[in-house]
Amino acid sequence: MSGVSNIEKVLTKLLLNNKPVPIFAIGKNQETIHLNEAIPLAGILDDSSIADATWKSIRVLKPDSIPIDSVVVNCSTSIAPVSAEKRILSLNPHVPIIRYSELSDARPLIFPRPSFVQEMQTEWKNNQLEWEGIRKILSDQESKKVFDDIVKYRLSGDYSIMADYSVKLNEQYFDAVCKLEVGEVFVDCGGFDGDTTEQFCERCPEYGQVWLFEPSPLNMAKAKERLESRRNVNFIQEGLSDQGGHLQFNPDSGSASSVSDSGDVRIPVTTIDARVPNPVSLIKMDLEGWELNALAGSEKCIRNSHPKLAIAVYHKASDFWKIPSLILKMRNDYSLYLRHYTEGWSETIMYFIPQKK
């Protein structure tokens, strides 16, 4: 459903109609909470729901059980909003689905824009020249298309822009532009439970060595178990930053665990320059927004080893230009590529590939 006139009709029906219309949401996020505050929800649709499940006191149910006169609002934004809509329509082809972005366009005071949209609108207003400068130096047309689509989506929240993308999390960090070679020395920054290192070992069986950094004891234990049969893996139970010391850490968010002022655990941190003694050929870095700090602690390694880099740039909008600006100050002989691995705002990776002399 699109067009302001259609949305106005739906809003009038939902907000003013004396006969309640069952409203269901897709997604469990702040947008769902805003929606429920404005129009109490009949439930959240989730294929994996179990009997009597709730989220924030809202009932969670399977999508094949909703009434025929329902309206569905898709609040999903980060991973698979396009597929979520298709799934609901496959089960309920006559149920209207509204994008949350349409509601926020029509009534922004009632339905605030998602935080990633607000952040991007401010970022684009203040730093548009920096963004345009990075686009100019991207090395292929695919990168420029990804850039354009991500900018449009982050500015609007309209997931229809992402219809050409799919969820390819296993491909993340290993695009074809980042060719793996015999003897690779891999540094996994944000190793989580070893999933990325496992992917690396399978894709590059004749690797030389791996350095896996992960501060969470629970995640590290899982990584060691997962990689038990792999050779030459150095497990470093420390975080990475621009200098050694200790930082607050939130350990209970799975793969999204991160350095945070509100974290309830204090962890030791180090730098790649201090901890990795030998030359490296590939660095993957996905640190939930702490990438700039960790890169600052990798300057000697980047200058001397000139490794390939696969760096997450999606956690903060400004990272799209601040991260390449920092790296190109260390070495300006990199070619830049941008790839995206979901239908939403998350999992955008920028590759820095050494230019051949």
196: buried, middle or exposed (CB in 10 Å: 19+, 13-18, 0-12)? buried
pLDDT band at 269 (very low <50, low <70, confident <90, very high): very high
CA 4, CA 106: separation in Å to the nearest integer?
7
Q: How far apart are CA 222 and CA 192, in angstroms?
A: 8
- Residues 333 and 330: their CA atoms lie apart, in Å, by 9
What DSSP state is assigned to residue 248? E
Task: Compute the C-alpha angle 258/130/351, nearest 5°.
Answer: 55
Q: Note the pLDDT tens digit of each residue in 69-88.
A: 889 999 999 999 999 999 99
Mean pLDDT score, 169-186: 97
Domain with CATH 3.40.50.720 in the chain: 4-106
Contact 44, 56 (CB under 8 A): no
pLDDT, one tens digit per residue, over 3-51 is 445 677 677 666 655 557 899 999 999 999 999 999 899 999 999 988 8
Q: Is residue 295 pLDDT above 60, yes or no?
A: yes
Quick: pLDDT tens for 222-251. 999 999 999 999 999 999 999 988 877 665
Partners of 309 in beta bridges? 283, 352
| 126 contacts: CB under 8 Å, gap ≥ 6 | none
Return the amino acid letter for 146.
Answer: V
Choose among 191, 181, 183: nearest CA to 211: 191
Are 142 and 135 within 8 A, CB to CB? no
- Per CATH, the number for 4-106 is 3.40.50.720
Which helix (H) or strand (E) is 349 found in, with range? strand 348-354
pLDDT of residue 212: 98
Which of the 8 DSSP states describes residue 254? G
- Which pair of structure tokens corresponds to residue 310? 């696969």
Looking at the domain 127-354, which fold is it? Rossmann fold (3.40.50)
Average pLDDT, integer, range 326-332: 98
> What is d(CA 33, CA 41) in angstroms, rounded to the nearest whole number?
9
Confidence band, pLDDT 50/70/90 cuts, at residue 263? low
- 239 to each of 148, 267, 294, 346, 351, how far by Cα in Å? 33, 7, 9, 22, 22
Instruction: Please state, in angstroms and rounded to a whole number, the distance separating the CA atoms of residues 263 and 250.
Output: 4
Start and end residues for every CATH 3.40.50.150 domain found in the chain: 127-354
Q: Are the C-beta atoms of 268 and 238 separated by less than 8 Å?
A: yes
| Cα distances (Å, whole numbers) of residue 216 to 60, 194, 222, 249 | 31, 12, 10, 9
Rounded Cα distance between 214 and 209, Å, is 16
The conformation of residue 284, written as its DSSP 8-state character, comes to: E
Count of all residues that appear for the chain in the document: 357
Residue 25 exposed, middle or buried by CB count within 10 Å (0-12, 13-18, 19+): buried
Can you tell me whether residue 3 is helix, strand or coil? Answer: coil
